Amino acid sequence: MVFSSLLEDDVEELYDNAPCGYLSALVDGEIAKVNATLLGWLGYRRENPVGIRRFTDLLTGGGRPYHGMHYAPMLRMHGEARELALDLVAADGRGCPPW
């Protein structure tokens, strides 16, 4: 079977329009990249969260301490964290989910 390689633009479009929300943050929590799916769910424009907000700014009140005590240390120690469920705050202040 022969596989054709995807062009960089194709990969970027797949990321941006994925059926799930993606968010990338720097070590200090500053948001570096967010896909269009997550932006649409939360009601933000691309320039709002990127480079201005920190990941913790998008967490609900209960999610912030969980992030600080469990999620952030796991990321620092292992470079990844899996199977997390966190509620996020949309641009209009409502909690997400519900979807």
pTM here is 0.77
Mean local confidence (pLDDT), 6-23: 85
CA distance 63 to 5: 39
pLDDT higher than threshold 50 for residue 2? no
- Fold observed for domain 9-96: Beta-Lactamase (3.30.450)
16-54, pLDDT tens digit by residue? 999 999 998 888 889 999 999 999 999 998 888 887 889
List the structure tokens of 16.
């941006």
DSSP designation for 54: B
Domain segments of the chain as ranges: 9-96
Q: For 49-80, what is each residue's pLDDT tens digit?
A: 887 889 999 998 888 998 889 888 888 888 88
